Amino acid sequence: MNDKTLLDILCRSENPVAIYTGEEILIELANPAMMAAWGRSGSVVGKTLSEALPEISEQPFVAMLQEVWRTGEDNIGEAIPAELMVNGQLQKYYFDYAYLAIKNEQGEVFAIMHTAKDVTDKINDQQELQLARGKFELLEKEQALNEELAASNEELFATNEELHKAQEALHKLNADLETMVEERTFELSRSENRLRYLLSDAPIAIAVFHGRDMIIESVNKKVLEAWGKQPDIVGKPLHIAVPELIGQEFLQILDNVYTSGEAYYGYEVKALLEQNGKIEEVYSNFVYQPLRNQSGDVDGIMLAASVVSEQVAARHRVQQLNEELTAINEELNESQERLMITNLDLRASEQRLDKILSELPAPIVVLLGPDQIISTTNAALLSFWNRTKEEVIGKPMLEVFPELKNQPFPMLWKQVLETGESIINREQQVVFKDRYTGRDRPFYVDYYYQPLTDLNGNRTGVLATVLDVTDKVRSRKKIEEAEAQLRLAIDSSELGTWFIDAVTREFRPSPRLKQIFGFYSDDNMSFDMATGQILDEYRDKVIQAVELAISEGNNYDMEYPIKGYHDGEVRWVRATGKLYGEDKIGAASFSGTVQDITVRKLEEQRKDDFLSIASHELKTPITTLKGSLQLLNRYRENLNHPLVPRLVDQANGSVAKITSLIDDLLNTTRTNDGQLHLNYQEFSIAGMLEVCCSHIRMGGKHDLIVQGAKELMISADQERIDQVVVNFVNNAAKYAPDQREIYLIVEDLGDKAKISVKDSGRGIPADKVPHLFDRYYRADYSGAQYSGLGLGLYISSEIIKRHDGEIGVDSKLGKGSTFWFTLPKKA
Amino acid sequence: MKKTICVLEDNQEILEIISIVLEEENYQVWGFGTVSEFLAGFEAHNPALCLLDVMLPDGNGIDVCNYIKGNINTRSIPVVIMTANSGIDKMKASCGADDLISKPFDIDNLSCRINLLTSNNLAQGI
């Protein structure tokens, strides 16, 4: 059998069969039964189901088929309704159907087989049957009801009759009721009126509002008064009738009460209402009472309020008064406290006063009455008196200190008490008796006696303040003594003193200072005048040193030459100074002393000169010595050279000179130490003179002529006297080199012998004469014209002095000089 | 012909030494003990050199030097100053002396210096 045959057989089935492929449900095959079911003739193969049967577009079949194609699950169902267009009419059919998914070996769906069975009639029949059954049942029910109804009707008839009776009774009742109601209403309206009157005149403000808008239904006099309004506000809404309420809380509260149905109580609430044309504060206690209708809904509010402005005001005043009172009380408390503190302060200061008085270092005593009873004392006084409090309190002064009786004090106390005038005295002496030894002990006191008066102005006693200044006085006396001693020392030392105020530069020289500077003691000598006398090379240095000492506090110690103001003499001074009191303001001063050191300075200068001269002088014989020896050195191979002996002599001579110079030096020091020892011998003076000074005689330049008492003998140290004469003759030769004659003269003066050496040289100026015999003195310092040491005359004078003789010179400028000395003849 | 040297020195011993030394150098030496004597006599000897001490009884060697140097006739004569005071060298240098020699001197040194000065003089041609 081939496929086509199979297919034909299949198509003969009386049940509809169709085969679809594809998602679009393409009709591959549809048997005649299916075609009949669809109501289609002709070919539908190759069309989609939707194309072939457009009327199923709203029905689920295409979707179901697509579901089967997609899922591969069969869809089988019973009595599915379908509306199909058959013979031009759309009719409802019922089908039992099966959409079977045809799969290949792989399980993929490649076709859907649709079989169906038309069960429309079956279904319809079933429906009809059900309908008939239903009808039957209804019929039966109706019948039953009819029976019931008949029964009810009978009952109803009976009831109606009863009702008639009841109605009649009711009518009667109604009539009675109406009568009663009328009566009632009458009474009610009467009481309402009364109520109205009550309300209207009530001292309480009462108002009734109606509705949410608070339409004013009724108001009484009081409320009108409170609002300041007229009765014409009845019927208006509250906020229009009393516009000043807008913005205040009341309208809101009323609304709340209306809504909530709960009464609101306000206590002393302030409202701003118009009173007498002005807006004033009105305080009230009020209640908003909600009014309900028959249904129980709020349809109005009753306001009852009593104006309590006055009470509130009163209470405020009371409060204010209370507050003021509290404030006053507080102030009172404070004052009380302050008073207490002041009291305490007072007590404290009283105590302090007592303490101060008692601890005052100044002794104080109060003496009462004409007997000077000791009443108040302090520790300082008791210590001064060397007594205890118990020993003196209450006793008269003269009983405790009888030794004062003959001293001026009792009189003074009486005087103060009687005249009322205070007495002050300083540094008075008072004598107390030592309580143990009975010895007199003098004190110095400053005292101050004041009269004491009581409240009435009567003098009751004396307040005595006594200061023991014994120490002060004694110290001062000591200082005065010390100062006197100092003055004495300064005066005797011949020191000049000076004082410069460090700030004002005031310069105060002592008379001696002025003298040193060559001024007269009553001359005015300013600082500049004094420094003007300082020699030029030293002046600036001195002034600078003074400045430095004043400003820096440096040590001031200067030596400088000054030229005397009147006499022009050059002197040397040493000035020392110190800054005093630089730590005290305004007290700083620079003061010191000036000493005339001319003598010492000149000594120093002469010593310096001497040393330089000495070295210079020594060089001369050394030159000869050296020269001689050097020449000798040349001839050392030939000592037979004719000059040799001469040179040797020269050398020896030089050594001798050097030795002698050194001896002179030593002699000076020896003389100072007092070691000059004299060997007394008797010898003839003239004889000595004849042979002395051989070197001069040998020199051939001068002639020595001996004159006078040629026989005179003398007892003295011949060598030393010879030394003196040689010195004199040397001087004559040196200082009168051009004159040939030098005279040596002996004179017998009875108790002494006088030897003179006279030359006729240029002479010596008178002012040099006093110093000739001073150590190191050389007659002329200007230039180095005269060689030799200044020792000669000094040594000579020392020798002569040791002999108790005298030495001197007479000289006239241009004429010559005669140096002489005397020797006492030994008695 | 021997050259002449005039010496101003008051100390006899030193003068003698100097004379010996200079005569050994073949000079003629004339000595003077005082300034006045020197000034009176030195020109006449026509000295080739003057040797002056400083400290003299009647004068100062410096002044003599100045005189010699200031005098038109004598200013070409070399002058040597002798001094024992070394400190004043510097000052004396300004006086115009040709040389300064300090005491005590070395005699060879003295002769050497003098020889030098006298030979210079020749070279300059009096």
Report chain A residues touching chain B, CB-CB < 8 A: 612, 615-616, 619-628, 630-631, 634, 643, 646-647, 650, 653-654, 699, 734, 737-738, 783-787
pLDDT at B79 (0 to 100) = 92
pLDDT at B120 (0 to 100) = 65
Choose from B103, B106, B110, B112 for mutation: most chain A CBs within 10 A: B103
Question: What's the ipTM?
Answer: 0.86
pLDDT at B92 (0 to 100) = 55
pLDDT at A314 (0 to 100) = 85
Q: Are A82 and A119 in contact (CB under 8 A)?
A: no
At A597-617, the pLDDT tens digits run: 888 887 787 777 777 767 777
At A483-509, the pLDDT tens digits run: 888 777 777 778 888 888 877 888 888
For residues A760 and A703, give the distance between their C-alpha atoms in angstroms, rounded to a whole number: 13
pLDDT at A754 (0 to 100) = 93
At B86-121, the pLDDT tens digits run: 665 565 566 788 888 888 889 999 999 999 998 865
Among B24, B57, B85, select the one facing A737 at the smallest CB separation.
B57
Q: List, in sequence order, every residue forming a beta bridge with A300; answer none if it has no partner.
A: A210, A291
- Which chain B residues are closer than 8 Å to A650 by Cβ? 13, 16-17
Q: Which of A195-204, A322-331, A454-463, A640-649 has the lowest mean pLDDT?
A: A195-204
Q: Please judge whether B85 and A630 are an interchain contact, meaning their C-beta atoms are less than 8 angstroms apart.
A: no
Strands in A53-153 per DSSP E: 75-86, 89-103, 109-118
Choose from A608, A612, A623 for mutation: most chain B CBs within 10 A: A623
Q: Which of A191-195, A674-678, B51-55 has the lowest mean pLDDT?
A: A674-678
Cα angle A49-A51-A52, degrees, rounded to a multiple of 5: 65
pLDDT at A730 (0 to 100) = 83
Please, where are the H alpha helices in A463-535?
470-493, 511-516, 527-532
Q: How sure is the predictor about B18, in pLDDT bands with cuts at 50, 70 and 90? A: very high
Q: How sure is the predictor about A626, in pLDDT bands with cuts at 50, 70 and 90? A: very high
DSSP state of A826: P
For residues B65 and B8, give the distance between their C-alpha atoms in angstroms, rounded to a whole number: 11
Nearest by Cα to A27 from A8, A6, A51, A7: A51
Residue B51 pLDDT greater than 90, yes or no:
yes
Residue A645 pLDDT greater than 50, yes or no:
yes
How many residue contacts between A and B have a Cβ separation below 8 Å? Answer: 75
pLDDT at A670 (0 to 100) = 60
Range B8-31 average pLDDT: 91
Residue B13, chain A, CB below 8 Å: the answer is yes
pLDDT at B68 (0 to 100) = 92
pLDDT at A672 (0 to 100) = 59
Residue A782 pLDDT greater than 70, yes or no:
no
Range A713-725 average pLDDT: 88
pLDDT at A676 (0 to 100) = 66
More confident residue, A779 or A57: A57
pLDDT at B17 (0 to 100) = 92
pTM for this model (two decimals): 0.39
- In Å, how far is A805's CA from the nearest CA of chain B? 32
pLDDT at A781 (0 to 100) = 44
Residues 54-73 of B with CB under 8 A from A: 54-60
For residues A711 and A717, give the distance between their C-alpha atoms in angstroms, rounded to a whole number: 18
Provide the sign of the torsion angle of the four alpha carbons A400, A406, A408, A413, taken in this order.
positive
pLDDT at A755 (0 to 100) = 93
Percent of chain A with pLDDT over 90: 7
Ordered strands of the A703-708 beta sheet: A703-708, A741-748, A752-759, A816-824, A806-812
- Mean pLDDT estimate for chain B: 85
pLDDT at B22 (0 to 100) = 94
Chain A residue with minimal CA distance to B83? A616
Percent of chain A with pLDDT over 70: 95
pLDDT at A136 (0 to 100) = 86
At A355-364, the pLDDT tens digits run: 777 777 788 8
pLDDT at A785 (0 to 100) = 40
Place of tokens 């800054």: A579
Q: Is the peptide bond before B104 cis (omega within 30 degrees of 0)?
A: yes
Range B30-56 average pLDDT: 89
For residues A116 and A100, give the distance between their C-alpha atoms in angstroms, rounded to a whole number: 11
Please, where are the H alpha helices in A596-708?
598-634, 643-672, 685-691, 694-699
Q: Please judge whether B84 and A620 are an interchain contact, meaning their C-beta atoms are less than 8 angstroms apart.
A: yes
- Which chain A residues are closer than 8 Å to B31 by Cβ? none
pLDDT at A276 (0 to 100) = 81
pLDDT at A272 (0 to 100) = 87
Q: Are A303 and A204 in contact (CB under 8 A)?
A: no
Q: How sure is the predictor about A820, in pLDDT bands with cuts at 50, 70 and 90? A: very high
